Structure 1
Amino acid sequence: MLYFPVLAGIGILLGISLAGPPGPITAILVQRSLKSVFRGMAVGFGAMTADFILMIIITVFGSVLDLKSYDRYIYILGAIFFLYLAFRIAAADDASQQSGKAGSGYLAGLTIGLVNPMQIAWWLTAGLSVLQKFGIITIIFLFVGIVIWIFFLSELVNRASLKYEREVVLGVRIFSISALAIFGILFLLLGITAMLHVML
């Protein structure tokens, strides 16, 4: 049996690996962090709530339902939502991009997390395996790792925006639109391909 510090360390590293890679949630988190660290973190906590919900669903129903049979619908739903967000950011001016309440950021993170195919796929594969192999301690510290990453990224973006406001705002806008559009198009193609595969 592995010692507690080892299980905790594995959990933290896995949490960062789940939250760290660039993607739709990161795009919205860095955009909201321009205004304040708290608003950026609200997005992250919304996404983390989605992780918790997905963990519960997969733990309870994963052995009963074939969740992978719904992947084409998940891809298309996620694609539509991400492309919509990309359009909203592209159409907004700089002032409106940096506005918005923390509550709306939390709901944005929660919604993105629940329709994000990458997040769902992670829990269906790696997340479920981690829970079965390492147990609840590692899962608890996985969420600790996510919190660490949320705070680090929000603080980093906010501090950079205070020093290099115009450059950071422009960079974040380009990154956010590009990331959301790329993942939106990718998931749309995957969803259409999956539907065609079922039909043929």
Structure 2
Amino acid sequence: MIKALILGFTVGISAALVPGPMMFATIVTSFKVGWKAGPSVFIGHAMTESTLFMLIVAGASSFIGVNLISYMAVIGGLVMVIFGLFMIKSAKETSKKDISASASKLDLSVGPLPAGIVTSALNPMFLGWWLTAGSAIVLQQYLAGIFAVIAFVAGHWLADLGFLVAVASSFSRGKELISQRTHERVLYLCGGFMALFGLFFLLNYKNISAMV
């Protein structure tokens, strides 16, 4: 349970640190409603993610098997390794981005909650992640029991909520969330963790499938 919670938190914060549509939407709406934009965007994001979680678990309960787990472990492992290496490779460049300037170019005519739904549901990176690596992780936790899945989701959402509230609070006051150097170091750390976890999936896919 604790491992699933920590894994969910680490995966969540790793993805959140890479600037994307949801972060930009949080920043833009925070200029209007302040720190409250963070929880609102998160709720919209969580609503979209809940649908994916339920579909993954519902599918797992009906046709989970050795072949499916092996396939998802390999594909998920590859995606995590690639994503982790990409984070490491682009850490310096990503940390130098002027996030406020990028967010200011985003024209939002909807509130923070709808923005959370739209920027999640229409983000190909988000959907691609959960259809590959995300599914592999959820299915692995499912083998340990439904409470492991709940712990993973709780950790993931705790990271999302905390990060989005921090972003909204910071930018609504016109302040930088973290320094460039700190951002770069955290990206290196999270990218390394993601790549190593993906490598674990690739090297142990037979053991994972044997648990079914």
Q: What TM-score comes out, normalization by structure 2 length? A: 0.54
- Which AA in structure 2 matches 1:123? Y
- Which AA in structure 1 matches 2:68? L
Does residue 95 (structure 1) correspond to residue 99 (structure 2)? The answer is yes
Query: CA separation of 1:183/1:149 partners in 2, compared to 1, >3 Å: closer, same or farther?
Result: closer
- Is the Cα–Cα contact under 8 Å of residues 10 and 190 in structure 2 kept in the other structure? no
Query: CA separation of 1:144/1:167 partners in 2, compared to 1, >3 Å: closer, same or farther?
Result: closer
Provide, for residues 67-117 of structure 1, a one-character-per-residue CA deviation record: whole Å limited to 9, x for no partner: 332223321123213433554564341237953685344434333333234
Residue in 1 that maps onto 2:81: 79
User: Helix, strand or coil: the match of 1:73?
Assistant: helix
Identity of aligned residues (%): 13
Superposed counterparts of 1:152-191, under 5 Å:
153-163=163-173, 165-168=175-178, 170=180, 173-174=183-184, 177-191=187-201
Residue in 1 that maps onto 2:34: none
Residue in 1 that maps onto 2:14: 27
- Is the Cα–Cα contact under 8 Å of residues 72 and 192 in structure 1 kept in the other structure? yes
Give how far 1:59 is off. 1.3
Residue in 1 that maps onto 2:127: 110
Query: CA separation of 1:118/1:154 partners in 2, compared to 1, >3 Å: closer, same or farther?
Result: same
The CA RMSD measured in Å over matched residues stands at: 4.5
Residue in 1 that maps onto 2:56: 54
Out of 125, 141, 161, the position equivalent to 1:122 is: 141
Report runs of 4+ in structure 1 exceeding 6 Å deviation.
Answer: 142-149
Unaligned runs of 5+ in 1: 1-12, 132-138
Query: CA separation of 1:172/1:154 partners in 2, compared to 1, >3 Å: closer, same or farther?
Result: farther
Query: CA separation of 1:145/1:95 partners in 2, compared to 1, >3 Å: closer, same or farther?
Result: closer
Query: CA separation of 1:193/1:168 partners in 2, compared to 1, >3 Å: closer, same or farther?
Result: same
User: Helix, strand or coil: the match of 2:176?
Assistant: helix
User: Helix, strand or coil: the match of 2:58?
Assistant: helix
User: Helix, strand or coil: the match of 2:138?
Assistant: helix
- Is the Cα–Cα contact under 8 Å of residues 19 and 149 in structure 1 kept in the other structure? no
Query: CA separation of 1:97/1:104 partners in 2, compared to 1, >3 Å: closer, same or farther?
Result: farther
- Is the Cα–Cα contact under 8 Å of residues 75 and 187 in structure 1 kept in the other structure? yes
Query: CA separation of 1:55/1:161 partners in 2, compared to 1, >3 Å: closer, same or farther?
Result: same
- Which AA in structure 2 matches 1:57? G
Query: CA separation of 1:88/1:130 partners in 2, compared to 1, >3 Å: closer, same or farther?
Result: closer
